[in-house]
Structure 1
Amino acid sequence: MTSTRETPGFRGLTHFTPAGDARMVDVSVKAETVREAVARATLKMKAATLAAIRAGQLAKGDVLGVARTAGIMGAKRTPELIPLCHPLRITGVDIDFVLDAKRSVVTIEARVRTVDKTGVEMEALTAAAVAGLT
């Protein structure tokens, strides 16, 4: 339902009209620039699980390779998953994993690049999240 009255709390937020209705921000007048964003996710697990990942002994195979591919796919599909997110020409995605046996965690780092009119923060966050979920 669309409201014609101004909604307090929405002033200054670019994805909302003064009335509080959602909208996609117009970036047509912005210049294309090189943009990069980095997001990290940390997964805590049992030490035995981390050891099996490190040794490549999981029945599901190369879980980090599959997670890397899933993260890249997540970055590319971000506008289909996140409302009001602009489709961008992603020029590069790197997904790296750091296995820390002492803390029993895997840290995922997603780095996304583009030359476009808006940033790739949502794509980096989605890449890290999807890789972690995989």
Structure 2
Amino acid sequence: NALSKHGIFSTHIELWGTGRPMREFLWSEDMADACVFIMENVDFDDLKQDRKEIRNCHINIGTGKEISIKNLAETIRKIIGYKGEIRFDASKPDGTMRKLTDVSKLTSLGWQYNVEIGEGIDRMYNWYIADQE
């Protein structure tokens, strides 16, 4: 089976680490929407307000929500109907334990993401299944 070299089997899937690291995910259309929103609504000169100490005025784009790798795997399993076991190999690295952006600047400007993680996974899975038919 070609997937077994990636830790995917009919009875179980093997994921690296403990499953505890936290990650943030953003639907691609929300990313595009945020970029357009920023281009149409933000004047970076206003953000720096003549403060010379600000050289790289940035705006983070994200949801501001995080999910553990374990909960993400469980969410995916539920959506796709996978019946196998999810195993975590703690002998493998977890990577950075937390990756979450501060989106307070963007939300204060009036932008908000639209697609929750479960909905995004469902959309992607349904697109993939439809493409296989």
Considering fraction of residues, name the structure with more helix. 2
TM-score w.r.t. the length of structure 1 is: 0.28
Considering fraction of residues, name the structure with more strand. 1
Structure with bigger RCO (C-alpha 8 Å, 6+ apart): 2
TM-score w.r.t. the length of structure 2 is: 0.28
